[in-house]
Structure 1
Amino acid sequence: MRYPIAIESEDETHAFGVVVPDLPGCFSAGDTLDEAIQMAKEAIELWLEVQIDEGGDIPEPKSITEHQANPEFAHWIWALVDVDPAILSDKAERVNITLPARVLRRVDEAAKSRHESRSGFLARAALATLRREAS
């Protein structure tokens, strides 16, 4: 998947600013053009992960030509950022973990009381922890 990014040229006091028009609120910056593009890729991946975690929709990218018609982006530089579609996958993967028996019992009790599977409970708890740490 390739998302167009609009890059505002740097000046003596500002870095290159980046906006991802297809992803509301997704923006980034970099001291060099290459760094701005790399930081945009990270911002896009994080934006997509949060949308998926929160059950939101993933917008399809529009063409650069469509975005160039927007006067807000007059004189901006355009680039495309490749995003690996695998990061969008919610396909279940089997993993092998080791937990102390007493922890596993507590996990199973908590999952059962919430009418969840062990895997579902652990996934939800992990995502909640990651969201708290990100904010």
Structure 2
Amino acid sequence: MNPFDYEVDILPLSVEDGGGFTAVAPELPGCRSDGDTPQEALDNIYDAIGCWIEAAQEMGRPVPQPRRAAA
């Protein structure tokens, strides 16, 4: 599965939370990352998605299909 096919939400973090941005892959429970910029958060979440998929496959757990096709 291609990590780039999964939906990603990028949200700003408050100063109290350290600032920067968080990225979440809502289709993959617990899959999130962060970065100082939106682009860094996006790059990091795609790495995290790849790791999430690999770990799920190694444990024999199902990997949800992306809800949307790559554009």
Q: Which has the higher contact order (CA 8 A, sep 6+)?
A: 2
Return the structure number with greater helix share.
1
Is TM > 0.5 for Structure 1 vs Structure 2?
yes
Letter in 2 for 1:7: I
Give the Cα–Cα distance (whole angstroms) in 2 for the partners of residues 31 and 21 of structure 1: 21
Letter in 1 for 2:11: E
Give the Cα–Cα distance (whole angstroms) in 1 for the partners of residues 35 and 6 of structure 2: 18
1:41 CA displacement: 0.5
- Is 1:53 paired with 2:54? no
Aligned to 2:23: 18
- Helix, strand or coil at the partner of 1:58: coil
1:50 CA displacement: 0.2
Aligned to 1:5: 8
If the length of structure 2 is used for normalisation, what is the TM-score? 0.79
* RMSD after superposition: 1.6
Question: 1:39-88: CA deviations, max 9, x gaps?
Answer: 0011000000000000011101124xxxxxxxxxxxxxxxxxx7xxxxxx
Runs (4+) of structure 1 exceeding 3 A deviation are 10-13
Aligned length: 64
Unpaired stretches in structure 1, ≥5 consecutive residues: 64-81, 83-135
Larger radius of gyration: 1
1:10 CA displacement: 4.1
2:39 to 34, 42, 51: 34
1:11 CA displacement: 4.6
